[in-house]
Amino acid sequence: MTDARLADLADRLPNLRLLTDPADLEHYGRDWTRRWTAKPLAIALPSEVAEVQAIVRWANEHDVAIVPSGGRTGLSGGAVAAHGELVLSLERMNRVLGFDVVDRTLSVQAGMTLHAVHEAAKEHGLLYPVDFAARGSCSIGGNIATNAGGIRVIRYGNTREWIAGLTVVAGNGELLHFNRGLVKNSSGYDFRHLLIGSEGTLGVVVEATLRLTNPPPPSQVMLLALPSMDAVLEVFALFRARLSLQAFEFFTDVALRHVLAHGAQRAIEGDHPYYVVTEFDADEAAQEAALATFELGAERGWISDGVIAQSEAQAAALWRLREGITESLAPHRPYKNDISLRISALPAFLHEIQALLEREYPHFEVVWFGHIGDGNLHINVLRPTELSDADFIAQCEHVTKLLADTLQRHGGSISAEHGIGLVKRPYLGCTRSEAEIALMRGVRQVFDPKGLLNPGKLFE
C-alpha cells in the first residue's frame, strides 16, 4: 500500500478490509450506467458502525472524498467513483439487528439486499412492501438514498413511507439517530426525511428501522394487449376504479421484442403496440369483477387481448415480461430517462412528448415502459452500434434538455425514482427552483461542511 493516506487508514483500523486491486477498483467504482471509468483510490469494507465513523473522520483529516456504496444497481451514476474517492461499501454490514413484534418493525444494517429484507419480514409473517427487479442485488441503504419506488408504489408508496428510523454517520463522523422508530414525533425537523433521497450527500446511512405490514390477500396477475397509449390510461382509470390494484405496469411492443429475445415467453399472440401487466387482490368476488372489467374495457375498444395467470409459475412468467426489460436492454447501453408527472397531467404531456421523441430520434430505437399508475415513465434510447458513445450521449443530452423543458411546463420531475446522480445533474433546475437548490446546498453544508460525501452527485 504505497499511498500514505491509505497507510494511515490501515494503521488506524487494522481490521478494516481495504481493497486496491484494479479489478476491485473497477467493480466497486461503477454502477449500472457504465458511462464513467471507475477510478477510486481504494475500497473500504467496514464491518461495524465505529469503523464507518473512523473512516469519515480519516477522510476529513486527509480531504478524501467518499462514495457510499450499496449494490450499485443505480442508473444515474450516484455510486460512481471516477475521481480518486474512497468507496465506502456497506456490503459487509448486512445483518438483521432486531425485529419488534409490537412495533412491527425490522431493524437492519444498510448493506442488506432488498431481497434479504423481504425474506426477513416473511419469517415473521409480515411484508416489507417496496419491491422491484433489482431486489437480489440492490441494498436497502441504496433504496433509502434514492427513495426507491418500483412496482408496488401504486399500493404502498415509495421507500420513504416505510422508514421508521435511521442511523446515520454525518460528514464529520458524528453518529445520529433519526426518529428512533416513533410513529408520532412532532418535535421539529424530521431529518430522517432529509436523508431519504439525499443520494449519499448528507450522511452515510448505516442502519434503518423498517416498518412492516400484513402480507396482501391472494392476488391475480393479468397481461393485457392494448391499441394505444390513450387506451393504457383509460384502462388504468377503469381498473383502478373497480379493482384493488397492487401493480399496474406498461411496456411497448419494442420492449416486448427485446425481452422475448432475452428468453422470456410470449403470452399473447399477434402484434399489439402496448401491453400492461397488472396485479390485483383476487378473492372470488374480485375475480368476477376483474373479468367484468376486462370485458368492459374490451367492449370500449381499449383492450385488444388478455391472459390471466392460472398458476404462480404463469404469474411469474407474465411478470418477467415487464421485469426483464432493463436487463434485456443493457447490452445496448441505453440512455435512460426516468420521468414523472401527476397522473392527471399524463395525457397532455404524452401527446407532446411522443411527437417530440419521434421528431428528435428518427433513427434511434426508443423503448417506453414503466409505472404508468404512478405517472412514472422509463424511456430508454438504444445506442446504434455504429455510433460512438460520446456522439450518442451528446444527441441524447440535447433531447433530454427539450424533454426537461416540456416536463417543467407540465410540472413533472426529471427523476422519479432513480435519483439525480451524475446523469441528471444538468437538469435538476427543471424540477427544483433556484431557491430550493440553494436550500439544498445549505443543508449539505450543515451535514457535511467539507463536502466530502459523494461530491458532484445531485449538484456540482
Ligand X SMILES: O=C(O)CC[C@@H](O)C(=O)O
The least CB distance from residue 75 to ligand X, in Å, is: 6
Residue whose CB is less far from ligand X, 9 or 372: 372
**3-state class percentages of the chain: helix first, strand second, coil last, to nearest 5:** 40, 20, 35
Closest CA to 199 of 271, 147, 275, 240: 147
The least CB distance from residue 63 to ligand X, in Å, is: 35
Residue whose CB is less far from ligand X, 242 or 333: 333
Residue whose CB is less far from ligand X, 142 or 171: 142
Contacts to ligand X from residues 398-437, by CB under 6 A: none
| The one among 380, 400, 413, 415 contacting ligand X by CB under 6 A | 380
Q: In what order do the strands lie in the sheet with 96-100?
A: 96-100, 105-109, 203-211, 163-170, 175-178
E strand spans, 114-233: 163-170, 175-178, 203-211, 219-226
Residue whose CB is less far from ligand X, 336 or 383: 336
In eight-state DSSP terms, residue 306 is E
Cell of 17: 478490509
The least CB distance from residue 370 to ligand X, in Å, is: 6
Residue whose CB is less far from ligand X, 159 or 293: 159
The H-assigned helical ranges of 104-228 are 114-123, 140-146, 153-156, 191-195
| The one among 143, 146, 147, 326 contacting ligand X by CB under 6 A | 326
336 binds ligand X (CB under 6 A): yes
In eight-state DSSP terms, residue 427 is G
Q: Is 415 helix (H, G, I), strand (E, B) or coil?
A: strand
Pairwise CA distance, residues 216 & 236, whole Å: 20
258 binds ligand X (CB under 6 A): no
Contacts to ligand X from residues 95-134, by CB under 6 A: 132-133
378 binds ligand X (CB under 6 A): yes
The least CB distance from residue 327 to ligand X, in Å, is: 9
30 binds ligand X (CB under 6 A): no
147 binds ligand X (CB under 6 A): no
E strand spans, 282-432: 305-308, 335-340, 365-371, 376-382
Pairwise CA distance, residues 332 & 383, whole Å: 6
The least CB distance from residue 399 to ligand X, in Å, is: 16
Contacts to ligand X from residues 37-76, by CB under 6 A: 75
The least CB distance from residue 196 to ligand X, in Å, is: 17
222 binds ligand X (CB under 6 A): no
Radius of gyration of the chain from its Cα atoms, rounded to whole angstroms: 23
Residues that bind ligand X (CB under 6 A): 75, 132-133, 326, 336, 338, 370, 378, 380
